Structure 1
Amino acid sequence: MTDERLLAWALRLHPAPYRRQHGPELAEAARASMADRPRAGVLAEAAHLAAHGLRLRLGLGADRPTGRAAAGAAPLVLTVALAGGTGLLLRQRWDLGHQLLPPDGPLLTGGDRLVGAGLALTALALLALLLGRVTATRLLATAAAGAAAAATVLSAHSWVGAGASHLLGTLGGPLAVCLFLWLAPLSLTERPDRRTAALSVAGGLGVAAVVGAVPGLLDTLVLDAAMLLAAGLGLRRTGRPALVGLLALLPLLPRALGPVTLFASYAQHSLLAGALAAAVAAVLLRLPARTPTAPAAPAVPTADED
């Protein structure tokens, strides 16, 4: 595909009114950026332009609250992806070494090295994001998704029987993270302060520990937490934190949905319990807050009363 066709394809993804107003300026800037660049650079520039159009269509622009929330959640998304993947890999290594449980997927075929490479790329993507390197962040996340895809192909004998469950577990998370990072306005992501960084590290270690210790329990917790957070999206005072929390769970949601595709009873009971808890939370959140009434001031006697 020629550069002009790539440019036209990327511009076509923008909303029509925006394209009519700003299309010539975008095209001129993209041509200047693509000039004298290697093919990989041209493809990256076209991908950035296409992602910008999709961002506008989805309401994730830098001027929208959802876009700003996505930018703020990006470090959390990468932290949870790194922590969850590390915990799962350590758990599988333990199972393989001690033969307590049958290891699943990539570890049977040497794909664990690809999984480890994907985790290293995710860590580099997080570092690049915190340093403000938006292009590097997206390309590293894309490479991590490619490593997950290769690991999935190498473990084809294990996912042929499991089907969608295994594909969601091994490939869904990295692909979701990659897509999210291309769509989020990462130029708005700020470097965390010391307190936020410490909380992120502690949360990541907690996720890794829980995934490594009780992976089955985490699947249920993730689905329940997602439904509880969804209940808070409709309120002004809880909408932004709930959206950030949902986005942070994005790397774990595909794996948590895996058992739902295999076990109907599991899905029925788990989702019903989570939906009930979410409904109760939604009702409680919508109750008007009680404001304490000030005590009545003592009456001041008038001259007639004296």
Structure 2
Amino acid sequence: MTLRDVNIEDIAVYQCEATNVHGSIVINAFLYVVDLTCFPDGVISKAVDGDDIMLPCECSGLPPLYIIWKRQDTVPLLSDPRVSLEPSGTIKLSSVSHNDSGLYTCSRENTNISITAELQVFNRTVILTGPQDVRALRGTSVLLDCCFVVDPRLSGYQVVWRKGDQKLSDSSVDEKYTIFDNSTLRVTDLQLNDTAEYSCEVITDVDKVTAHASITIIDPDRFSTKNWLIRTTCTIGLLVLIVFIITWCKDSEYRGLRTRGNSEGTNMEDVHYENCTPGSTRDDSTYQSLHPAARDQDQTYSTLTHHT
């Protein structure tokens, strides 16, 4: 028996029975139909140094056959501990390096069916000088830098500036934002609503890096008003303090150096003189104050002798 144009539906057990006068014999035969198609072929996979990457190889059919992966016809990849095989035939390479770049072959055991996959490993994109946090006066302009390095083998890259989640464009009518050829961002006529976090995002075919900075706007009018309030408060406080001191001096008991005479005509007591003039200037035989020209504030005078 000959079967032509077989497919998966033809998988079955076939019997061959032979009969004669002496009896019959039955022979069973199982037909395996192997899917000779593995895909996709010629895929180019790109990664950056240190990434994990999947190399696809989808092969199906019955019975399942062993998948063999090789790199440029060298030793089998499955001997590398960084390589793991998926049930479908796809392999995963962990933490790839530049040495992993090259051509890979996926084949089915005991067949001539195979596909190829190419792996390209690039240098990781790095932002050398990102934007810095700035404080600026309202109405002025600022510049935010974004200096980076991209693997020259990559076909291109894109630089995107954002204010929060908003993508910035230098095509606005008021020319609020300008992105120069060196990817520096200029923000003009800063207002209070420009206080926000800004980000520079560099996007390539294989990776994406971002650097952040904030702009804080200082309102000079608000700053001057604050200083005026501080100065006014301090002045009022000082005036209140001066009034309190003057009132306290007037209402307190006058104190000064006085002498008390005794029968022997000598002074018996000393009193400390403080700031305010004595409350009495009577000239009698019992109390006598110092002459105003001889007084000295905050000084304790020696015992005086009273002469009658």
Shared fold, TM over 0.5: no
The structure with the largest helix share of the pair is 1
Q: Which has the higher contact order (CA 8 A, sep 6+)?
A: 1
The structure with the largest strand share of the pair is 2
TM-score range with shorter-chain normalisation?
Answer: under 0.3
